[in-house]
Amino acid sequence: MTDKQQGSSTTIVHPAYESPDGFSAFPTAIHHASTVLFKDVEAMRARSWLNKSTYTYGLHGTPTSFQLEGEIAQIEGGNHCVLAPSGLAAISLVNMAFLEAGDDVLVPDNAYGPNKEQGAWLQRSFGISVRFYDPMIGSGIADLILPNTKLIWTEAPGSVSMEVADVPAICAAAHSKGVLVALDNTWSAGLAFKPFEHGVDISMQALTKYQSGGSDVLMGAVITKDVELNNRLLMAHMRLGLGVGMDDVYLVLRGLQSMKLRFDAHDAAARKLATWLKSRPEIAKVLHPAWEDCPGHEVWKRDFTGAGGLFSVLFDEKYSEAQTDQFVNQLKLFKIGFSWGGSHSLCVPYRIETMRQSWSDKGILVRFNIGLEDVEDLIADIEQSLNSL
């Protein structure tokens, strides 16, 4: 067909574009698609959501998202990865893939808040029983496992109160009763804790944090070693329609290249700051897993190779909430906001006693995310604000 015979709309829809042959460069190309083309009807009929060597529809992935899934699986030490549009969507994906009405799930009492909130919703509206357990329970979890318990969530450390759970002990108890263990591994970025070496079945990441590193993308991932577990995730992913935008995927691919360097820099700065805070009379406890104040410190030493930039402190109980709020408000470099893993330092006060079934410490909890600023400037900022109390 010549251009003369072809209508202009046809020409616009069929530009003379071919991917450049012989062009080689480092970045993964950004492949956008809703429609994915099949070469013939037989190929269309043979499509499968479970087979990642074929493409079915943009919602279920393009070469760009498959590339990121491969890289995340590798970092985590798994074989398979499924992306989701946020970390919380990745939590939902795990719950939808592995739970049904009548099942029971155990969630640690220090879990990421929206994970607990989703659990309460599953119980209220979906006929699933959800029980919250003491994160320091270890092998004692065996006593909580019921015949209908299907899944145990873990999170080590909890991202506000920082207790480090004994994940291998929980996994051993769970597996002896045929129960799956999922880990929210966001704190370690998959760098400082290798979930599958410690018995975890399903690892979940908020790629929003260190993997992106830019405070500008929301994305999540669920990583597994076992193909049957991955197939269940893929079917739930297909049914839920949890697609991701390929421009966002590209940003995470770009962020990943510097993730280890950034993570180590956050880690070193956070430990300097925690050391300094420990010397201050205003601070009763430094809840950083590398400090003995932190429950599970011994487990962290045994199982982890690093810590990243997130930790909390408990103020001496003589300081009121009004005073610790003033402390946070008077910080200049530290901004007030949720999330972490970006370049900017953040600080958030928590009413921890309202978040937990039981909590005995009296001092007010304040969480720091240490960014990539000069650590001396961060210390000076905290110092000026503490001195004003």
Q: From the centroid of its chain, how far is CA 153?
A: 13
Nearer Cβ to ligand PLP (222/236): 222
Using the minimum distance from each CB to ligand PLP, give the nearer residue, 104 or 184: 184
Shortest distance in whole angstroms from residue 63 CB to ligand PLP: 23
What are the Cα distances from residue 278, in Å, to 286, 293, 298, 316, 388? Answer: 6, 10, 19, 12, 18
The DSSP output letter for 385 is H
Binding site for ligand PLP (CB under 6 A): 86-88, 112, 159, 184, 186, 206, 208-209, 218, 220, 339
Residue nearest to ligand PLP (CB): 87
Q: How many residues does the chain have?
A: 389
What value, to the nearest 5°, has the Cα angle with vertex 331 and ends 330 and 334? 150
Query: Which of 137/222 has CB closer to ligand PLP?
Result: 222
Residue 157: cis peptide before it, omega within 30 degrees of 0:
yes
Q: Which is nearer to ligand PLP, 28 or 86 (CB)?
A: 86
Of 119 and 283, nearer to ligand PLP (C-beta) is 119
Query: What is residue 284's three-state secondary structure?
Result: strand
CA atoms of 160 and 330, how far apart (whole Å): 21
Q: Looking at beta carbons only, is 64 or 186 nearer to ligand PLP?
A: 186
C-beta separation of 300 from 164 below 8 A: yes
User: Based on CB atoms, which residue is closest to ligand PLP, 282 or 356?
Assistant: 356
β-pairing, 104-108 vs 149-155, is parallel
Q: How far is the CB of 372 from ligand PLP (least distance, A)?
A: 18
Name the minimum Å distance from CB 75 to ligand PLP: 17
323 vs 339, which CB is nearer to ligand PLP?
Answer: 339
Shortest approach of ligand PLP to residue 111 CB, angstroms? 8
Answer yes or no: are the C-beta atoms of 366 and 327 closer than 8 Å. Answer: yes
- Report the nearest approach of ligand PLP to the CB of residue 54 (Å): 29
Query: For the sheet containing 104-108, what is the strand order?
Result: 80-84, 220-224, 202-206, 180-184, 149-155, 104-108, 129-133
Q: What is the largest CA-CA distance in the chain?
A: 85
Q: Return the number of the residue (183 or 284) whose C-beta is nearest ligand PLP.
A: 183
Residue 109 beta carbon to ligand PLP: minimum distance, rounded to whole angstroms: 14
Q: Give how far Cα 175 sits from Cα of 13, 128, 165, 306, Å.
A: 55, 21, 17, 27
Nearer to ligand PLP, 155 or 381 (CB): 155
How many C-beta neighbours within 10 Å does residue 300 have? Answer: 26
**What's the rounded Cα separation, in Å, for the pair 300 and 230?**
28
- Smallest gap from residue 153 Cβ to ligand PLP (A): 10
Sheet with 283-287, strands from edge to edge, namely: 283-287, 310-315, 365-369, 346-350
**CA pair distance 225, 65, nearest whole angstrom:** 18
Closest approach of ligand PLP to the CB of residue 331, in Å: 21
180 and 151 Cβ atoms separated by less than 8 Å:
yes
Q: Distance between terminal CA atoms of the chain?
A: 80
CB 371 within 8 A of CB 309: yes
Cβ 222 to ligand PLP shortest distance, Å: 12
Least Å from the CB of residue 244 to ligand PLP: 11
